[in-house]
Amino acid sequence: MSDDAAVRLPLEGIRVVDLTRVLAGPFCTMLLGDMGADVIKVEDPDHGDDTRAWAPFVGGQSTYYLGVNRNKKSVAIDLKSADGGAFLDALIRSADVLVENFRPGTLDRLGFGPERARTLNPRLIYCSISGYGTSGPRRDLPGYDMVIQGESGLMDITGFPETGPTKVGIAISDCLSALYAVQGILLALIDRGRTGDGQVVDIALLDAAVSVLGLPAGIAAATGRGPGRLGNAHPSLAPYEPFPAADGSVIVAVANPRLWSRFCRAVGAEGFEHDPRFATNDDRLKNRAALTSAIGDLFHDQRVDVLIGKLTAAGVPCGRVRSIEDVLSDPQLTAREMLIDVRAGDASVKVPGNPVKLSSVPRIRGTAPPALGEHTEEIRRQVLGKSREES
């Protein structure tokens, strides 16, 4: 975190009206705020963002909410009221970007869909994040990450054969959608700099999840069937997975013949290198069960630190399966400012930082997530020139 006012952030001067809640939208707008955008989070005055009520809490605030809402201002307005509508109209006129993740059609019914918003402000970049996008036969359906993980095929390749489909441990389609939304917004800002016109950015959770299926989709195209659920194994490489050791698990990533040779020598298994069952990657894939068993026998009574030391010294990519608690105390991540403290009342909580590192930005800014409606009157005076009492 930096208080250095001399540092100019790349999105300073860009105002973002944030009509989002929960994860995909708030994550997107937080990343824009990290880089200097003036993000105004518009919330329902009765309860605000849904995640404000989601446990657990630190300092009376939801850790979920705290994790994706730094660097924003909050205004609480009722979009169904005349006063709230006039307030949002003024915000839209003053904005460069509007981001929303309502169910398709909701904002159109309230009078704030993309057509009217861009009539109010032709330079506006209007970003919609939804489950299935604004076109196609399922465009009107609600989008929830768990559903999208199943519909996209992600769950078909996640989990073990004997356990059935498993979701990814985070809301991955929401997170991917947020990243694509940032990309789309930045592309639209570049285009606006050339043309002077805004445009609509249409992001679908389903599209985002399917976009990362290159390897399994390629396997299906080539063989007529997808790779299925392989647990922690890789469909095209072996060994490329975690193996249990005496006090934890060691991940080994052998991606070419040179690394296979180094691996065998590092762990004292030179015989593996000359075993015809394991000679090539194709051989190892065909005999994966025997290879996994052999490496398991070799590792089971050795400590993780010892194995990591041997493999690292030999130049073999490896790591341990760490707990979230371990990750939150990792000096590498601290050095990269990927673990930052956010204030919550009299307490603080560690949240993930921003992975984009720019040489012109020594540190991202880090204002605490706002209380519900904390900036309503400040922003009202900016865009309407008067407080509610003066209206």
| Amino acid (one-letter) located at 273 | E
58 touches 66 (CB < 8 A): yes
| Helix (H), strand (E) counts: the chain | 17, 13
Q: Is 83 a catalytic residue?
A: no
Please check whether residues 187 and 309 belong to one and the same domain.
no
Per the structure, how many domains does the chain have?
Answer: 2
Secondary structure of the chain: what % helix, strand, coil (to 5)? 40, 15, 45
Q: Sort strands 61-62 and 38-43 into parallel, antiparallel or unpaired.
A: unpaired
Please check whether residues 63 and 195 belong to one and the same domain.
yes
d(C-alpha 185, C-alpha 93), whole Å: 18
Please check whether residues 296 and 365 belong to one and the same domain.
no
Block residue for tokens 């490496």: 295
202 touches 128 (CB < 8 A): yes
Q: Final residue of a domain: which of 301, 316, 331?
A: 316
In a domain, 113, yes or no: yes
Residue 1: predicted pLDDT: 41
**Distant-in-sequence, close-in-space partners of 225: CB < 8 Å, separation ≥ 6:** 219
Q: Final residue of a domain: which of 267, 282, 316?
A: 316
Residue 367: predicted pLDDT: 87
Using DSSP's 3-state secondary structure scheme, residue 15 falls into strand
d(C-alpha 208, C-alpha 223), whole Å: 24
Please check whether residues 287 and 169 belong to one and the same domain.
no
Please check whether residues 185 and 287 belong to one and the same domain.
no
Residue-range definition of the domain harbouring residue 308? 256-316
In a domain, 330, yes or no: no
In a domain, 3, yes or no: no
In a domain, 190, yes or no: yes
Please check whether residues 33 and 89 belong to one and the same domain.
yes
Residue 387: predicted pLDDT: 64
DSSP H helical ranges for the chain: 24-34, 63-67, 82-94, 106-110, 114-120, 145-151, 172-195, 205-211, 214-223, 257-266, 270-274, 281-286, 288-299, 304-313, 324-327, 331-335, 376-384
Please check whether residues 174 and 73 belong to one and the same domain.
yes
Residue 177: predicted pLDDT: 98
Using DSSP's 3-state secondary structure scheme, residue 211 falls into helix
In a domain, 288, yes or no: yes
In a domain, 143, yes or no: yes
Tell me the whole-structure pTM to 2 decimals: 0.93
CA distances from 291 to 146, 251, 264 (A): 34, 15, 12
Please check whether residues 136 and 91 belong to one and the same domain.
yes
Q: What is the pLDDT along the chain (391 residues), one digit of tens a residue?
A: 444 556 789 999 999 999 999 999 999 999 999 999 999 999 999 999 999 999 999 989 999 999 999 999 999 999 999 999 999 999 999 999 999 999 989 999 999 999 999 999 999 999 999 999 999 999 999 999 999 999 999 999 999 999 899 999 999 999 999 999 999 999 999 999 999 999 999 999 999 999 999 999 999 999 999 999 999 999 999 999 999 999 999 999 999 999 999 999 999 999 999 999 999 999 999 999 999 999 999 999 999 999 999 999 999 999 999 999 999 999 999 999 999 888 888 888 889 999 999 999 888 777 899 999 999 999 999 999 866 666 5
Residue 171: both structure tokens together:
């809301």
Please check whether residues 80 and 29 belong to one and the same domain.
yes
Residue 243: predicted pLDDT: 97
d(C-alpha 53, C-alpha 43), whole Å: 13
Residues for the chain: how many in total? Answer: 391
192 touches 41 (CB < 8 A): no
In a domain, 245, yes or no: no
In a domain, 207, yes or no: yes
Please check whether residues 45 and 189 belong to one and the same domain.
yes
Please check whether residues 362 and 300 belong to one and the same domain.
no
Please tell me which residue in 18, 34, 49, 174 is annotated as part of the active site.
174
154 touches 226 (CB < 8 A): no
Q: Which CATH number belongs to the domain containing residue 375 in this structure?
A: 3.40.50.10540
Please check whether residues 39 and 99 belong to one and the same domain.
yes
245 touches 299 (CB < 8 A): yes
